[in-house]
């Protein structure tokens, strides 16, 4: 196994620890300066067009509360109430329910899925040691056994040649940060943990609570979180299914919590590619569990990327009762960073419809949001002129018993 903590990585982290901008990278997202110039974002900051995709509504594909939506090149995946539903991205028509939860050989134990690079299959975890595979028509397509070590990861990225797993130190041994498996689940290589090892043990835990869905922590905890309070004035928040790996135009990216760097995985090395300059708001990773003296520190919680932008959310006062959540947008061409309060609406200045709430990014690079039907009908009642807007033709036969509408901005 290769040791890949590069000298450049150390230098970069050292510069962040000293609250100085890194000059080693051309892409630096300047949160420190942006905090002094909070702005109000608008939909046109994210793209030039908005497309609305109403999801078909039938008895077979009714979507409940707080769905998790993932948009692929050709499909929309909705995970809700232990089900995985697949829709056509072009018109929102329902395609199939993918797999099922249970204990039988073809069942998964979590409806959270990962698509392969060609987007021909969806993979699900089946405890204690398997990935279950289905095609896009809902047919069972096999399984991958991953015995311990390394065991099942917290997050996966499936390329054409291998399976990359991310280990958060909670669901598995702290021996790995990343593992590289072949398509049969055989461990080929690994990367050691980037974060310093925690000293706390189970006996130090005072209280554990669980949150469901999006909370004050924003997109980072969109599928929930485990909140652990320790006896020694320390705390830890473990976001379920938080995105740590993504494929950007064939380039594999990796972002670890409390490390203000986006890495490119090249071979088996982590190459620093984009840095977050938090400056005086910096939160040292070796103090990431401390509840003291961090009310003014900033934690970069959720990151996504397309060819033009890096979209991120960051939290000030993570362990306090006065949490402030921000939306950030970094323009790769101009180098400009815009930072706005999440509590401020992002007005739709492209179609004049409801405020835009970016939740994620599609594998094609579109910003993704969704609006539940009852919220749409409430808006239309308050804004009756909306029905005559040609850009919102889907409203003509819309009602509050229908499935959500997916919003795509590019």
Each residue's pLDDT tens digit, 362-388: 999 999 999 999 999 999 999 999 989
Nearest one of 330, 328, 325, 315 to 274, comparing CA atoms: 330
Tell me what pLDDT residue 202 has. Answer: 83
Q: What is the pLDDT of residue 65?
A: 85
| DSSP state at residue 404 | P
Q: Which residue has the tokens 């499935």?
A: 403
Does residue 395 surpass a pLDDT of 60?
yes
Higher pLDDT, 217 or 13: 217
Q: Is the per-residue pLDDT at 347 higher than 60?
A: yes
Which residues lie below 8 Å from residue 349, measured CB to CB, with a gap of 6+? 42, 43, 44
- Residue 410 is predicted with a pLDDT of 96
- Give which of 127, 211, 142, 204 is closest to 172, Cα–Cα: 127
Extents of the domains making up the chain: 7-409
CA distances from 220 to 59, 270, 323 (A): 31, 23, 14
The mean-pLDDT minimum among 111-125, 198-212, 233-247, 296-310 falls in: 198-212
Examine the pLDDT at 13 and tell me if it is beyond 60: no
pLDDT class of 6 with cuts at 50, 70, 90: very low
Q: How confident is the model at residue 299 (pLDDT cuts 50, 70, 90)?
A: very high
What pLDDT score does 25 carry?
Answer: 76
Residues β-bridged to residue 54: 405
**CATH tag, 7-409:** 2.130.10
Residue 283 has pLDDT above 80, yes or no: yes
pLDDT for position 194: 86
pLDDT tens digits for range 114-164: 999 999 999 999 999 999 999 999 999 999 999 998 999 999 999 999 999
Within 13 Å of residue 275, how many CA atoms lie on the same side as its CB? 26
Average pLDDT of the chain to the nearest whole number? 91
pLDDT at 41: 98
> Per-residue pLDDT averaged across 37-47, rounded?
98
Q: What integer pLDDT is reported at residue 1 of this predicted model?
A: 40
Residue in this structure with the two tokens 């993979």, named with its chain if needed = 123
SS3 11: helix
Is-cis flag, bond preceding 116, omega within 30?
Answer: no
pTM over the 0.85 mark: yes
How confident is the model at residue 8, as a pLDDT?
A: 34
Owner of token pair 């997202």: 29
- Nearest-angstrom CA–CA distance, 165 and 160: 14
Cα(404)–Cα(219) distance, integer angstroms: 18
Q: Let me know how long the chain is.
A: 410
Q: What is the pLDDT of residue 197?
A: 82
pLDDT tens track for 52-96: 999 999 999 999 888 999 999 999 999 999 999 999 999 999 999
- If you write DSSP's letter for every residue of 355-372 in order, what string do you get? PP---EE-TTS-EEEEE-
- Residue 20 pLDDT > 70, yes or no? no
> Out of 102-116, 137-151, 210-224, 350-364, which region has the weakest mean confidence (pLDDT)?
210-224
């Amino acid at each position: 196994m290769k040791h890949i903590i590069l000298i450049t990585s150390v230098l970069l982290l050292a510069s962040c620890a000293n609250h100085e901008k890194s000059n080693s990278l051309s892409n630096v997202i300047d949160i420190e300066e942006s905090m002094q110039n909070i702005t109000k974002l608008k939909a046109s900051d994210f793209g030039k067009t908005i497309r609305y995709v109403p999801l078909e509504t039938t008895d077979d594909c009714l979507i409940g509360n707080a769905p998790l939506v993932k948009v692929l090149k050709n499909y929309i995946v909705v995970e809700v109430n232990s089900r995985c539903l697949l829709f056509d991205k072009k018109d929102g028509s329902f395609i199939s329910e993918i797999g099922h939860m249970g204990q039988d050989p073809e069942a998964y134990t979590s409806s959270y899925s990962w698509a392969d690079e060609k987007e021909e299959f969806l993979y699900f975890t089946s405890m204690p040691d398997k990935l279950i595979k289905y095609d896009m028509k809902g047919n069972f397509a096999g399984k991958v056994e991953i015995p311990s070590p390394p065991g099942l990861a917290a997050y996966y990225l499936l390329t054409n040649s291998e399976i990359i797993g991310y280990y958060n130190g909670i669901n598995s041994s702290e021996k790995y940060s990343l593992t590289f498996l072949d398509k049969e689940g055989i461990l080929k290589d690994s990367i050691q943990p980037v974060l310093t090892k925690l000293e706390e043990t189970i006996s130090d835990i005072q209280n554990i609570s669980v949150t469901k869905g999006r909370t004050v922590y924003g997109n980072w905890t969109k599928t929930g979180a485990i909140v652990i309070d320790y006896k020694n004035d320390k705390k830890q928040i473990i976001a379920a299914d938080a995105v740590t790996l993504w494929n950007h135009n064939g380039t594999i990216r990796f972002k670890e919590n409390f490390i203000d760097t986006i890495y490119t995985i090249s071979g088996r090395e982590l190459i620093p590619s984009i840095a977050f300059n938090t400056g005086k708001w910096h939160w040292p990773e070796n103090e990431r569990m401390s509840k003291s003296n961090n009310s003014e520190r900033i934690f970069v919680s959720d990151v996504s990327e397309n060819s033009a932008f890096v979209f991120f959310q960051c939290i000030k006062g993570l362990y306090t009762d006065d949490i402030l959540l921000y939306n950030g947008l970094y323009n790769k061409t101009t180098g400009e960073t815009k930072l706005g309060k999440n509590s401020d609406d992002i007005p739709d200045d492209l179609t004049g419809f409801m405020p835009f709430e970016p939740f994620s990014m599609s594998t094609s690079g579109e910003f993704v949001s969704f609006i539940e039907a009852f919220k749409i009908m409430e808006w239309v009642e308050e804004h009756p002129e909306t029905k005559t807007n040609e850009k919102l033709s889907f409203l003509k036969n819309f009602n509050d018993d229908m499935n959500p509408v997916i919003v795509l901005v590019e």
